[in-house]
Amino acid sequence: MKPNAKFQADSLSSGELQFLSSQVRAKRLMWIFLLALGVLGVLLFYGGNQWLSSPGGPKVAPPPKGSLVVSAKLLRAHVQALVDIQPARNAHHPASLDKAAAYIAKQWSGMGLKVQEQPFKVGKISYKNLIAFVGPSQGPRVVVGAHYDVCGDQPGADDNASAVAGLIELSRMLKANEAKLKARVELVAYTLEEPPHFGASTMGSAVHARSLKKAGVDVKAMLSLEMIGFFSNKPKSQRYPVPGLSMYYPSTGNFIAVVGNTTREGRGLAQHLREAMKVASPLPVYSLSAPSSMTGVDFSDHRNYWAQGYPAVMVTDTAFFRNPNYHKSTDTIDTLNFPKMADVVRGVYWYLLQLK
């Protein structure tokens, strides 16, 4: 057909008509896709109060110079102790989980913290969360937790020994400066976050969150520490669950992320924590407030506090969106950046000290 020829439907065969019809449908779908992608880009770039946390947020005073001393050496020692446990500390090896729990309890007890066990059974096997408190004995509570189990037979240095080490070091700093705390902080080491229990009522954090709700505890905020040790300066080392996010966030995986949901309280928590972390260390910090339908947004223990109506966020290096060792035997201690891990702990600590 010539470009300037008139279209005459009765001159075409049925096969040609079907072909042209399919081409028209394909073009329509392409334009719908491009329009949707454009709208998504606008929402992602400008929708601060809906999906992305706005660039602003509460102003947080910087800490006095030299006041936030975090030990990268201790962080490494805690990670090493956990990855050395054999066989792997997973749901199929409860004895190894008990060894990990015993190590955490010993560290907390050595700081002068009173350690409580929260036992529960899955079938005939007993598991336990560990709990310790620091700060005032009364008032609204802030929960800070990390899971100590791993997925399968792997060391789990980043996932999640890095966060457990961070929780232990954070506990040391909080206990040493307990008189400065205005909020009651509940420290929790969870078991059974990983498959086959992930997403089920048998997750340790689900057990804990339900217990708080049943007791009528006023939870001001929950912070889930989930993989905080892997960073990369390589270009394009950072990926995202939605293509449009790359318009707003870095393509280099050298930052820490604070991930919350789209509730008003959730967005406020994500923004406040982000700002406190930013002034406490040179580590770049970004926050995202998005629905749990976005892949990865609810991939940790904070999901179970959302289920109980509590404001909660995840502090993370973004896991498999950055770390190629996720759930692999290569998730080893030598892949972690302990100075940057110390920056994460420093930021969370400063946030807790700012709470009224």
Q: What is the mean pLDDT of residues 148-157?
A: 98
Q: Has residue 152 got a pLDDT over 50?
A: yes
The DSSP secondary-structure symbol of 246 reads G
Average confidence (pLDDT) over 142-168: 98
User: Which pair of structure tokens corresponds to residue 120?
Assistant: 């529960």
The tens digit of pLDDT for each residue in 59-108 reads: 898 898 888 999 999 999 999 999 999 999 999 999 999 999 999 999 99
Tell me the mean pLDDT in the region 312-320.
98
CATH topology of domain 72-354: Aminopeptidase (3.40.630)
**Distance in Å from the first CA to the final CA of the chain:** 76
Residue 45 pLDDT greater than 50, yes or no: no
Higher pLDDT pick, 19 / 76: 76
Entry field: residues in the chain: 356
User: How does residue 56 score in pLDDT terms, banded at 50, 70 and 90?
Assistant: low
Rounded distance between C-alpha atoms, residue 228 and residue 166, angstroms: 8
Give the pLDDT confidence of 204-225 residue by residue, as tens digits.
Answer: 999 999 999 999 999 999 999 9
Per-domain residue ranges for the chain?
11-46, 72-354
Gap between the Cα atoms of 298 and 314, Å rounded: 8
Residue 51: pLDDT above 70?
no
Share the mean pLDDT of the chain. 88
How would residue 35 be classed by pLDDT, with cut points 50, 70 and 90?
Answer: very low
Beta strand spans in 123-255 (E): 125-134, 141-147, 184-190, 219-226
